[in-house]
Structure 1
Amino acid sequence: MAAVTALLALSGPAFAQQQPAAPPSAPPMDYSKAEIKTVALGNNAYMLEGQGGNITVVVAKDGIILVDGQFAPLHDRIKAAVAATSSLPIKYLVNTHYHGDHSGGNEAFAKEGVTVVAQDNVKKRLMAGTTNGLTGVKTPPAPQGALPSDTYTNFSKIRLQGRVADLKHIPNAHSDGDTYVWFKTARVLATGDTFTNGRYPNIDFANGGNIKGMIAAADVYLKLTNARTKIVPGHGPVADKAALAEFRTMLVTARDRMAKLVKDGKTEDEAVALKPFADLDPKWAPDELASKNFIRVVYHSLADKPDSQPGLLKRIFRRN
């Protein structure tokens, strides 16, 4: 959490997901100015924008399901924003992955009786602590109370009266513990950071992320959604299927260009110097640092020797 907080203080909340962690000496983030904005999605579903990853709120007849919880200091403001949509209790909080701008609220919500759900690897990463692949900055293990109490491997469901949330794992995309959440009756898809609308994604290659898995995730989402679906990205405004398709096209372009550089034997620094995504930057990069970081994470996706990958992931890679 300390590393993530330092990261956001340096880069600003809007693009936190695509910047490297800042040195430990960076000033702490000022949460006092954070505002929570509610966006209605229809069908008694909402997106909350704040300081960190987007939150999805879906209201059932007997309770509420949240997808992601931002940072612990924002708990009261998030809870107030949820209460403005419904007086029903929050029953479940789903972590789309382990990063603190999405899972930081775990402990505070769990203390109130909310069941925190995540893919198995999220709990493992939070328990062990992690290292930023770009900077080497370490995030310490999370406290016991912040760990998900309900985990799954490949697929799970959350059922409340009038609502079903389908949770599915996307292997090795943004990280190794990504979950997307599909609310079929609400026509809402929550992707976490496997999709970021209008900006380059971070690919956490040091903790299982890979651009090939990101493309595989986009393929799954394009098959699942239609023109009426509201897509809640990890960061950025609410999206539709057309925005998702544009994101996938960018990923494929980046993968193909970087694959050639890697094949030609270019080093990471040489790849950065060549600026292979210069024509993509005006649309997807808010600044030069974001541009360079995306080059680096795509490079590592294709140049690093992969760990032993599950058979499912190998099949996904072959299809893409």
Structure 2
Amino acid sequence: MKHKIKTSLLALSLIASSVVAADARFKDVQITANKLSDSAYMFVGSGGNIGVSAGSDGILIIDNQFAPLADKITKSLNQIQSGTPKYVINTHYHGDHTGGNAHFGEQAIIFAHDNVLTRLSANKDLSKSALPVVTYSTDISIHFNNDTLVIQHLGPGHTDGDSVVFWQDDNIVHMGDLFFKDRFPYVDLKGGGSVIGYRDNVAKILTLIDNDTQIIPGHGALANKDDLRKFKHMLDHSINWMKKNIQEGQSLADIQAKGINDKWKSWSWNFISEEKWIDTLYQGLKK
């Protein structure tokens, strides 16, 4: 009995320590709002950028960063408009975009691609409120705040459940993690992602927007079509470069030693370094 008590106390202590660590990690994070139109905003904090529609129909948010930031996100939303979100859209399943699901899902309806529900449901630690309620296989539209938000799934790219959200009238698009502005992207190969699919999805989006479109990237500052075009050029060069090295019989170690073209080295960052990007390209293209 004493052993069981000690074990339980140790478990509680570890849980408490992890909560304190999470709070400490995010205590200085500030959620800042960038107004894009009369009813649309981009929120920046820690994790994926958040899209917001706020108006006469209520509040809708696209992604919600990490769980410990839910209260800060709510406070920032209330500075724009009182009330809680009616709808949440998940652009994919990663925790830096869906961490607030459990909090916001208590009162909001969560929309996501079918595969997001499948992947989140596999995490037995998540509450029911964290799971999408409405799922889709391709496209779905939400008519909200005098605009139509069109949610599209273009096939495997960053993951196998990516969604891109277009404001039809306001000419805004939230790309989720199909766009890392001026950075090497994360292609989650274990999560159904595809290097070629990622590039092709970016190419598709370029055909659907114009020079006035405001682009909310998954990570990075507000962008435009030129920024996205530059991103695709990096993807094209990286893919063609890696294919050539693989065809020549180069090993991953050899390719890592050479490194990528100097033009793109500055796109390396703390999460996806040049080394990790090269490894992703190799693993994703060698088959």
TM-score, scaled to structure 1: 0.79
Alignment of 1:141-180 (within 5 A): 142-180=126-164
Q: Which residue of 2 aligns with 1:106?
A: 101
Kindly report structure 1 stretches of 4+ aligned residues shifted beyond 6 Å. Answer: none
1:141 CA drift (Å): 5.5
Q: Which residue of 1 aligns with 2:117?
A: 123
Task: Choose the corresponding residue for 1:54, options 49, 56, 59.
Answer: 49
| 2:261 paired with 1:294 | no
1:296 CA drift (Å): 1.0
Q: Which residue of 1 aligns with 2:3?
A: none
Residues 74 and 84 of structure 2 are in contact (CA less than 8 Å); yes or no, is this contact kept in structure 1?
A: no
Residues 200 and 294 of structure 1 are in contact (CA less than 8 Å); yes or no, is this contact kept in structure 2?
A: yes
| 2:186 paired with 1:202 | yes
Residues 69 and 103 of structure 1 are in contact (CA less than 8 Å); yes or no, is this contact kept in structure 2?
A: yes
- Matched pairs, number: 267
Q: Which residue of 1 aligns with 2:246?
A: 262
| 2:40 paired with 1:45 | yes
Q: Matches of 2:72 and 2:194 in 1, distance apart?
A: 34
Q: Which runs of 5+ in 1 are unaligned?
A: 1-23, 130-139, 305-320
Residues 258 and 276 of structure 1 are in contact (CA less than 8 Å); yes or no, is this contact kept in structure 2?
A: no
Identity %: 33
2:212 is aligned with what amino acid?
R
Residues 52 and 71 of structure 1 are in contact (CA less than 8 Å); yes or no, is this contact kept in structure 2?
A: yes
Residues 62 and 88 of structure 1 are in contact (CA less than 8 Å); yes or no, is this contact kept in structure 2?
A: no
Q: Matches of 1:91 and 1:289 in 2, distance apart?
A: 34
Q: Matches of 2:216 and 2:262 in 1, distance apart?
A: 27
1:274 CA drift (Å): 2.0
Residues 167 and 182 of structure 1 are in contact (CA less than 8 Å); yes or no, is this contact kept in structure 2?
A: yes
Larger radius of gyration: 2
Residues 48 and 63 of structure 2 are in contact (CA less than 8 Å); yes or no, is this contact kept in structure 1?
A: yes
Q: Matches of 2:187 and 2:46 in 1, distance apart?
A: 20
Q: Matches of 2:83 and 2:57 in 1, distance apart?
A: 7
Q: Matches of 1:258 and 1:116 in 2, distance apart?
A: 38
Alignment of 1:281-320 (within 5 A): 281-282=265-266, 284-286=267-269, 290-304=273-287
1:161 CA drift (Å): 4.4
Task: Choose the corresponding residue for 1:93, options 85, 88, 91.
Answer: 88
SS in structure 2 opposite 1:279?
Answer: helix
1:88 CA drift (Å): 4.8
1:272 is aligned with what amino acid?
Q
TM-score, scaled to structure 2: 0.88
RMSD, aligned α-carbons: 1.9
| 2:66 paired with 1:71 | yes
Q: Which has the higher contact order (CA 8 A, sep 6+)?
A: 1
SS in structure 2 opposite 1:156?
Answer: strand
1:83 CA drift (Å): 1.6
Distance 1:141 1:201, change over 3 A: farther
Q: Which runs of 5+ in 2 are unaligned?
A: 1-17
Q: Matches of 1:230 and 1:178 in 2, distance apart?
A: 19
2:158 is aligned with what amino acid?
H
2:253 is aligned with what amino acid?
D
| 2:28 paired with 1:33 | yes
SS in structure 2 opposite 1:280?
Answer: helix
1:186 CA drift (Å): 1.6
Residues 39 and 145 of structure 2 are in contact (CA less than 8 Å); yes or no, is this contact kept in structure 1?
A: no
Q: Which residue of 2 aligns with 1:84?
A: 79
